[in-house]
Chain A
Amino acid sequence: MKPALAIKGLGLRYGRTWALRDCSLRLPAGSVIALVGPNGAGKSTLLQLITGLLRPTEGTVEVFGQDAGAGSAEALAQVGFVAQEHPLYQGFSVSDLLRMGRGLNLHWDRYLAERRLGELGIPLAKRAGSLSGGQQAQVALALALAKRPALLVLDEPLANLDPIARRDFMRAVMTAVAEDQITVLMSSHVIADLEAVCDWLVLLKDGTVQLAGAIDDVLDGHRMLTGPRTGAEPSMPGLVRVTHSERHIDLLVRTGPDRPDLHPTWRSQPVGLEELILAYLERPRETVR
């Protein structure tokens, strides 16, 4: 399939520290991709490189074949972005913001934006600053979607929203996915937010990609092995995490052809997404590379 995003050897350095390094990804069009990682992992950096807000120190980002680093009007036009804390011009009315979007974009679906906001009961005459946090997030999303982007990028869209606003926001995103088949890339550090809607996973930690793939494949590719505790530190290929308990030892492993046969006393179980992600995030830094 033609990739929505092709990222090769991407890196960004601030002074002497690398916020992101050696990042290579191919993300399929039409998917809803979760970008997961702890705070400071480089999620916002990666998203700002994809939206052209940051210029890479090394490597390239292509969005549907367009170089995002160039920051050209065509490249900007195909990415809709809702930044962290969904910034809006607080003094602008909602209709001012829509007029701004119409003036600053190559494509603009005015009807779509007005319909979405109308359905949510957000008055166009109101100043952005006087709207609730959930409404501001919806306005920011409507602005991003009215561009008719091929890729929608959402940076921590659900942070600072109450549960109802979260549900409404995700509902609006999923409606757009269903209606327009757009590709969505959204970051969060709350895994539960993403599990229900995402079909792809990118796991970022310490500025490098730990894991990337379709969620089904990732879950199929991992197993939790439980066996009797022995004194020796277990070692086997594809070992992600070891957990010791009183009598048992739990091994989270990547399945593969080279996996050795296990003693029949060991049990093998599938892994949940949240557990899997936590296992990767908990790995000590030195084993990362």
Chain B
Amino acid sequence: MIWFTWRQHRAQAFAGLTLVALTALTFLSYGHVIRGAYVDDGVGPCLRQDTGGDHCQSAMTAFMDRFNGIANHLSTWFSPLPGLIGAIVGASLLAREYEQGTWRLAWTQAVPRVRWLTIKILLVGAGIVAVTAALSAVFTWFRGPVDQVSGRFAPGAFDLEGLSLTGYTLFAFAAGVLAGLLLRRTVPAIVTAFAAFMAVRLPVEFWLRQHYRAPVTRLLPPTVNYSRGPRSVPTTPGTRPWVLDQGLVDKSGHPISPALAEQISRRAFGGTAEGDAHLRELGLHLKVVYQPADRFWTFQIIEAALFVGLAAALLGTTLWLLHRRSS
């Protein structure tokens, strides 16, 4: 059964290894450039000194201007990848057998079909874990310096590093296996599995994930830099957290009126320090709602458990249906 599984899926295994090799080749060489710039621009010391001041502000802005784009493109290119890999490999397990009629050959040897599929799921699933873990390792290394600045909760980081990439791929794989059983055609099974993957994956990223743990709220000294997106100076000490919401509030904690916000943004300050001083005079605070950076692994584990759990449920359903279905 092990040799048989290998013989059937070796082309996919080679494709997976090629993907890892090409990714490593591309990103490890470019990763060296990022690491060099990280040291040369003095980004590291600035991060250690908390907010740093105007020198650090410009150093980090320059660094992020240069590399944040490419690091986030990575997530755009690679976000659908787990869905595609999983759906294609998953659909090949059953849909291809039905499509080519070989299920009648495979399941009339002396391996009962539930056992046959269980072994294939375990072996192919192990291959998927190996490939996706290797990809995650490459991405983590590549993004390392950028993550130091923007934090690992950034969309390009959280979805590709740690356990999540593996969890996503296993989920799409399971959806592909089940779709193959139900549809019996390879291409429709791939399309359905990919659609199902996106239908779960996107709501999790944009809605569910921020609720894994109750966020932390902090009132900080006000700054005019808060709204500058990923290039702004961290407003909380240490590694940048996942900021869910931030804004200027008045003494009683209510958000400032739109008129006042307009007035502040129109006003030209001589420098960051002058602007900050003005905000302090108005008695404002910066209210930040966030998930602290040290929750990265907690969130990774929850996210991976969610997707691996869904995958297990789909695969269990597939095996149960295969056991009792009449054809």
Which residues of A are at the interface with B, using a C-beta cutoff of 8 A? 12, 14, 48, 51-57, 71-74, 76-77, 79-81, 83-85, 87-90, 92, 96, 99-101, 103-106, 140, 143, 147
Q: Are A96 and B7 in contact (CB under 8 A)?
A: yes
Q: Does B251 contact A (CB under 8 A)?
A: no
Q: Are B109 and A105 in contact (CB under 8 A)?
A: yes
The docked-state distance in angstroms from the alpha carbon of A79 to that of B7 is: 25
The docked-state distance in angstroms from the alpha carbon of A14 to that of B326 is: 8
> Known contacts being A14-B326, A55-B324, is A101 close to B101, with CB within 8 Å?
no
The docked-state distance in angstroms from the alpha carbon of A71 to that of B7 is: 25
Q: Are B110 and A147 in contact (CB under 8 A)?
A: yes
The docked-state distance in angstroms from the alpha carbon of A96 to that of B102 is: 15
Bitwise, B103-139 to A at CB < 8 A (1) or not (0) is 1111111111100100000000000000000000000
Q: Are B104 and A53 in contact (CB under 8 A)?
A: yes
Give B2's nearest chain A residue, CB to CB.
A103
Specify which chain A residues have a CB less than 8 angstroms from the CB of B105 in the assembled complex. Answer: 83, 87-89, 140, 143
Q: Which 3 A-B pairs have the closest CB atoms?
A: A104-B109, A83-B104, A87-B101
Q: Are A103 and B4 in contact (CB under 8 A)?
A: yes
Q: Are B101 and A85 in contact (CB under 8 A)?
A: yes
Specify which chain B residues have a CB less than 8 angstroms from the CB of A106 in the assembled complex. Answer: 110
Q: Are A88 and B102 in contact (CB under 8 A)?
A: yes
Question: Closest approach, in angstroms, between the C-beta of A227 and any C-beta of chain B?
Answer: 49
- A sample of 11 inter-chain contacts (CB < 8 A) reads A48-B104, A55-B325, A87-B100, A88-B105, A89-B100, A89-B102, A103-B1, A103-B2, A103-B4, A106-B110, A147-B110
Give B5's nearest chain A residue, CB to CB.
A103
> Known contacts being A14-B326, A52-B108, A73-B110, is A100 close to B101, with CB within 8 Å?
no
Specify which chain A residues have a CB less than 8 angstroms from the CB of B109 in the assembled complex. Answer: 76, 100-101, 104-105, 147
> Known contacts being A14-B326, A71-B112, A73-B112, is A104 close to B104, with CB within 8 Å?
no
Which residues of B are at the interface with A, using a C-beta cutoff of 8 A? 1-4, 7-8, 100-113, 116, 324-327
Q: Are A90 and B4 in contact (CB under 8 A)?
A: no
Q: Are B327 and A90 in contact (CB under 8 A)?
A: no
Interface residue from A57, A84, A87 paired with B102 (Cβ < 8 Å): A87
Question: Closest approach, in angstroms, between the C-beta of B187 and any C-beta of chain A?
Answer: 18
The docked-state distance in angstroms from the alpha carbon of A54 to that of B327 is: 5
Specify which chain A residues have a CB less than 8 angstroms from the CB of B107 in the assembled complex. Answer: 52-53, 76
> Known contacts being A96-B7, A104-B110, is A81 close to B100, with CB within 8 Å?
no
> Known contacts being A83-B105, A87-B102, is A73 close to B111, with CB within 8 Å?
yes
The docked-state distance in angstroms from the alpha carbon of A105 to that of B116 is: 12
Specify which chain A residues have a CB less than 8 angstroms from the CB of B325 in the assembled complex. Answer: 55
Question: Closest approach, in angstroms, between the C-beta of A19 and any C-beta of chain B?
Answer: 9
Question: Closest approach, in angstroms, between the C-beta of A93 and any C-beta of chain B?
Answer: 10
> Known contacts being A100-B4, A100-B7, A103-B3, is A48 close to B327, with CB within 8 Å?
yes
Give B101's nearest chain A residue, CB to CB.
A87
Specify which chain B residues have a CB less than 8 angstroms from the CB of A104 in the assembled complex. Answer: 1, 4, 106, 109-111, 116
The docked-state distance in angstroms from the alpha carbon of A96 to that of B4 is: 9
The docked-state distance in angstroms from the alpha carbon of A105 to that of B103 is: 15
Give A79's nearest chain B residue, CB to CB.
B108
The docked-state distance in angstroms from the alpha carbon of A85 to that of B104 is: 10
Q: Are B100 and A105 in contact (CB under 8 A)?
A: no
Q: Are B326 and A57 in contact (CB under 8 A)?
A: yes
Question: Closest approach, in angstroms, between the C-beta of B265 and any C-beta of chain A?
Answer: 64
Q: Are A72 and B112 in contact (CB under 8 A)?
A: yes
The docked-state distance in angstroms from the alpha carbon of A57 to that of B324 is: 10
Specify which chain A residues have a CB less than 8 angstroms from the CB of B4 in the assembled complex. Answer: 100, 103-104
Specify which chain A residues have a CB less than 8 angstroms from the CB of B2 in the assembled complex. Answer: 103
Specify which chain A residues have a CB less than 8 angstroms from the CB of B104 in the assembled complex. Answer: 48, 53, 81, 83-84, 87
Residue of B8, B100, B104 most packed against chain A (CB within 10 A): B104
Besides A83-B105, A100-B109, 10 more A-B contacts (Cβ < 8 Å) are: A56-B326, A79-B108, A88-B105, A100-B4, A103-B3, A103-B4, A104-B111, A105-B109, A106-B110, A147-B109
Give A47's nearest chain B residue, CB to CB.
B104
Residue of B1, B101, B108 most packed against chain A (CB within 10 A): B108
The docked-state distance in angstroms from the alpha carbon of A51 to that of B8 is: 24
The docked-state distance in angstroms from the alpha carbon of A143 to that of B112 is: 17
> Known contacts being A83-B101, A89-B102, is A51 close to B108, with CB within 8 Å?
yes
Give B107's nearest chain A residue, CB to CB.
A53
The docked-state distance in angstroms from the alpha carbon of A117 to that of B42 is: 72
Give A74's nearest chain B residue, CB to CB.
B110
Specify which chain B residues have a CB less than 8 angstroms from the CB of A100 in the assembled complex. Answer: 3-4, 7, 109
Question: Closest approach, in angstroms, between the C-beta of B10 and any C-beta of chain A?
Answer: 10
Interface residue from B8, B110, B112, B113 paired with A105 (Cβ < 8 Å): B110
The docked-state distance in angstroms from the alpha carbon of A38 to that of B210 is: 63
Q: Are A76 and B112 in contact (CB under 8 A)?
A: yes
Give A77's nearest chain B residue, CB to CB.
B110
Specify which chain A residues have a CB less than 8 angstroms from the CB of B110 in the assembled complex. Answer: 73-74, 76-77, 104-106, 147
Give B112's nearest chain A residue, CB to CB.
A71
> Known contacts being A57-B326, A88-B102, A89-B8, is A81 close to B1, with CB within 8 Å?
no
The docked-state distance in angstroms from the alpha carbon of A72 to that of B111 is: 8
Question: Closest approach, in angstroms, between the C-beta of B5 and any C-beta of chain A?
Answer: 10
Q: Are A12 and B326 in contact (CB under 8 A)?
A: yes
Specify which chain B residues have a CB less than 8 angstroms from the CB of A52 in the assembled complex. Answer: 107-108
Give B106's nearest chain A residue, CB to CB.
A104
Specify which chain A residues have a CB less than 8 angstroms from the CB of B113 in the assembled complex. Answer: 71
The docked-state distance in angstroms from the alpha carbon of A76 to that of B116 is: 13
The docked-state distance in angstroms from the alpha carbon of A52 to that of B110 is: 11
> Known contacts being A55-B324, A55-B325, is A81 close to B8, with CB within 8 Å?
no
Interface residue from B7, B101, B112, B324 paired with A92 (Cβ < 8 Å): B7
